[in-house]
Amino acid sequence: MTSTQSMTDKIALIDQWCSVARILPVITIEREADILPLADALAAGGLKVLEITLRSALGLSAIRLLREQRPELIVGAGTVLDAAMLEQVEAAGAQFIVSPGSTAELLDAALQSSLPLLPGVASASEIMLGYARSYRRFKLFPAEVCGGVAALKALGGPFGNIRFCPTGGVNARNARDYLAQSNVMCVGGTWMVDAKAVRAGDWAAIENATRQALQALDAAPSGELPRDFDLRAERAEQREL
Ligand code: 3PG
């Protein structure tokens, strides 16, 4: 693992990416040949921050390939379940990590990593597990199942300085409601990555669906993205730690 980056820096980087990319597409690669054209279609549609899951055997190589061939994108690793997987995605060049849930092992390992982790949470107790370790940005998962917008409003009471990326059941119909919450920094999901279109290699359809997803939210396509800690414009407010 590489040297520790402070949580303040990690939060600042996450916030910067989320402010320019309001939707985080969750991508599971089934065929090697899909990796570049799928990422290109999403980027052409306006999404340049991508989460590649480790749900398929191609996850790691997809992260590696995208980091080599598409340095203009921000490529994160999803479905990171433990410290060993964290080490693998870090070696593959992932720029951030997403987990569906929280374990003490993973939360502690990510503190030692230079990569920001968005730990998955579905309850106040899980948030507190991360909070005690200075995490302030989480993935709410599975968002619709664990209470959706109503849960976010309720969690905003005790956790006023926490922000979430709700994922799981977020779609074209409800994404706008999620993004309207002050404690939502971005939403994640698969709705613009239609599996049939991917299998058919219909990249124009993916690009269009991506553009429509952003238009439906009145969200701008991702512009220039800060790529590493040296490029950050500002630090997260100290009070947030
Ligand atoms: C995830 O792990 O983030 C989810 O599988 C995405 O959920 P969705 O398919 O309901 O968008």
The pLDDT score that the predictor gives to residue 32 is 97
The pLDDT score that the predictor gives to residue 238 is 39
Ligand 1 atom nearest the C-alpha of 53 is 2
Ligand 1 atom nearest the C-alpha of 189 is 11
139 tagged catalytic: yes
d(CA 152, CA 39): 30
The pLDDT score that the predictor gives to residue 205 is 97
The pLDDT score that the predictor gives to residue 236 is 38
What letters, b where the CB count within 10 A reaches 16 and e where it falls short, cover 8-43? bbbbbbbbbbbebbbbbbbbbbeeeebbeebbbbbb
Ligand 1 pocket, CB under 6 A: 26, 100, 167-170, 188-191
Cα 108 to ligand 1 centre (Å): 25
The pLDDT score that the predictor gives to residue 22 is 92
The pLDDT score that the predictor gives to residue 19 is 87
Cα 6 to ligand 1 centre (Å): 29
Cα 168 to ligand 1 centre (Å): 4
- Low-confidence residues in the chain, pLDDT < 70: 1-4, 219-241
Measured from the Cβ of residue 136, the count of other Cβ atoms closer than 10 Å reads: 20
Is the separation of the CB atoms in 76 and 54 below 8 Å?
A: no
Catalytic residue among 10, 48, 51, 144: 51
Chain-centre distance for alpha carbon 42: 14
Take residue 85 and report the two structure tokens written for it.
């997987």
- Residues 76-99 have pLDDT tens digits of 999 999 999 999 999 999 999 999
